[in-house]
Amino acid sequence: MSGTQVTVQSFLSLSLLILLSAAANPARAEVIDFPEDELAQESVLPKFDRSDSVKKRNITTENRFEIGGYYGFNFLEAIHNQSKIGVNVGYHWSETSAFSLNYANWMGGLNKQYTDGLAETPNNLDFDRAPKLKYSLYGHYEWKVFYGKISLTKQGVMNLSTYPIFGAGITAYEHKNYPGFDFGVGQKFYFGQNLALRADIKLQYSQKPNPFLRGAMKGSTATLPDPVPSPSDFKDKWELGTILDIGLTFLL
C-alpha cells in the first residue's frame, strides 16, 4: 500500500472520530443567541396598493331608500305554480337596521310535476277547482350584522352585506287574505356605490286553503263533476314554505 493511500485513510478515520465525538457530547455544541431587537415582536398588517379600500367603508346605507325587483321560487309548493316575480321597497335608518316591503305576484297555473299525476286515473283530481293564488305582501326587518369586502383585483374590491330577515304579512287568494310569518337570511353583492345583486332565502309559515276537497275535486270523468266548489268550502291550514328570492336592488 502506498504512502498516499495510508494518508487518505488516516484523514478519513480522523474525521469520522471527530464527528462521533461531537455527536456524543451535545453539551459542547455551540449555542447561537440572537439579539432581542432582531426578533419579531408583533404581527404586521399586509400592504395593499390601495389601503383605503381595506380601511374605509365604501357603501353607506344610513338614511337611504332602496328599491329592487326579483324572481322568487317556493320549493315546497306542491299544487300551485312555484314561481313569482316581485319588488322590494325599503328604508335604512342606520347602518345596522332597515325595513322593507316585499310584494310578489304569483304566476298562474299549477305545479305540473305533481298535479299531472293526480289528474290521471284513478285519482282524477282537478286542481283548477281550488282557490287561485294571487299575490303576497310582507313587511321585513333586516338586521345588517356583517359588512365586508372581497378583493377581486389589486386595485378593487367587492362589498358585501349579510342580514337576517324577520317578517310578517299576508298571502292573497281569490276569496281571502291569509296571515303568515317568515324568517331567513339575505346577502347583497355590491357592484358599485348603488347597484347590488340580492339573494334572500326564507322559511315562511302561512295559512292557506287546503286544495283537497272530498268529492268536489273530481274532474270531468267523475260521477259528480258539478257543481264547482265555492272557495269558502275549503278548509284552512297552516303550511311551511321555503322561498328563494334573487334580483337586483338599487340604493337611492
CATH number at residue 192: 2.40.160.20
Query: Could you tell me if 91 and 101 are in contact, meaning their C-beta atoms sit under 8 angstroms apart?
Result: no
144 belongs to a structural domain = yes
28 belongs to a structural domain = no
Q: Average pLDDT in the 28-51 region?
A: 59
pLDDT of residue 220: 54
What is the domain extent for residue 73?
A: 61-251
- The contacts of residue 28 (CB under 8 Å, 6+ apart) are 22
Is the pLDDT score of 2 beyond 60? no
Is the pLDDT score of 26 beyond 80? no
Which of residues 192 and 34 earns the better pLDDT score? 192
pLDDT of residue 86: 96
* pLDDT level of residue 148 (50, 70, 90 thresholds): confident
Is the pLDDT score of 248 beyond 90? yes
pLDDT of residue 70: 97
Q: Average pLDDT in the 143-160 region?
A: 81
Q: Average pLDDT in the 152-164 region?
A: 82
10 belongs to a structural domain = no
Q: How many Å apart are CA 63 and CA 36, to the nearest integer?
A: 52
pLDDT of residue 155: 66
Q: Average pLDDT in the 197-226 region?
A: 77
pLDDT of residue 74: 94
Task: Report the candidate in 232, 202, 228 with the shortest Cα–Cα distance to residue 215.
Answer: 228
Average pLDDT taken over every residue of the chain:
81
3 state DSSP class of 112: helix
32 belongs to a structural domain = no
23 belongs to a structural domain = no
14 belongs to a structural domain = no
pLDDT of residue 59: 86
pLDDT of residue 115: 76
Which of residues 219 and 98 earns the better pLDDT score? 98
What pTM value is reported for the model?
0.72
Is the pLDDT score of 50 beyond 60? no
User: Which one of 63-72, 109-118, 212-221 scores highest in mean pLDDT?
Assistant: 63-72
Number of domains in the chain: 1
- At 167, which helix (H) or strand (E)? strand 157-173
20 belongs to a structural domain = no
